[in-house]
Amino acid sequence: MHLLIGVNILKRAERLINDPLYAENMELNVRSEVEPKSYQHDFRHHLDVARITYILILENNDLNYFVKESGLSSKLAAKEVIYAAGLLHDIGKWKEYTEGIDHALYGSRLAREILPRAFYNPREVDIICRAVYEHSNISRDMSFLGEKLHRADNLSRVYPEKEYFKELSGIKNKEINISSFEY
Ligand SMILES: [Fe+2]
């Protein structure tokens, strides 16, 4: 699978999604999915969250801050880190469905195994794994990326109660109010 995002081919993110362990767990997610089907944790959801996380950071003019604060080498490296966090954040969801194990914790462990094979360096691996671990619960001492990922995950679930979204009605987003669109 190719991952062409904007003008950049995200080579490491592409390597990540082609990793056999990534593919295996995404497959398990889809197979263990529970109702409602529109609340899936499939590749589409992961890509949505990756894109929204990146947009949130760009909109706030925070990309340079993130590069510096995290000690990353470039804006492209930061983009690959952001995308990796989005693409991995719910990878362990099936484990929660089937065994009751916290998906953020399990997902961060899987991420730690997969990321070095995609040539993410140890600092980047720590940043991504921390964000994956933090994403499902808001807390006071969240990392920058963990907070953005959490917010993007919520925003990815916006389903307005319009006629043409009728089949999706009943699914509520934690942030579904007008302020969601003013962030
Ligand atoms: Fe999610």
Per-residue pLDDT of 128-152, as tens digits, reads 999 999 999 989 999 999 999 999 9
Please give the distance, rounded to the nearest whole angstrom, from the Cα atom of residue 89 to the centre of ligand 1. 6
Question: Can you state the angle between helices 144-155 and 75-88, rounded to 10 degrees?
Answer: 50
Share of the chain above pLDDT 70, in %: 79
Please give the distance, rounded to the nearest whole angstrom, from the Cα atom of residue 82 to the centre of ligand 1. 14
Please give the distance, rounded to the nearest whole angstrom, from the Cα atom of residue 100 to the centre of ligand 1. 17
Residue 180 region, left (φ>0) first, then alpha (ψ -120 to 50), else beta? alpha
- 3-state class (DSSP) for residue 55: helix
What confidence category does residue 118 fall into, taking pLDDT thresholds of 50, 70 and 90?
very high
pLDDT of residue 161: 55
Please give the distance, rounded to the nearest whole angstrom, from the Cα atom of residue 110 to the centre of ligand 1. 16
Please give the distance, rounded to the nearest whole angstrom, from the Cα atom of residue 138 to the centre of ligand 1. 14
C-beta atoms surrounding 40 within 10 Å: 15
What confidence category does residue 157 fall into, taking pLDDT thresholds of 50, 70 and 90?
confident
pLDDT of residue 9: 73
pLDDT of residue 178: 41
CB 115 within 8 A of CB 15: no
**CATH number attached to the domain at 4-182:** 1.10.3210
CB 32 within 8 A of CB 101: no
Measured distance CA(146)–CA(83) in Å, rounded: 12
Q: What is the pTM of this model?
A: 0.85
Stretch 40-69: mean pLDDT: 95
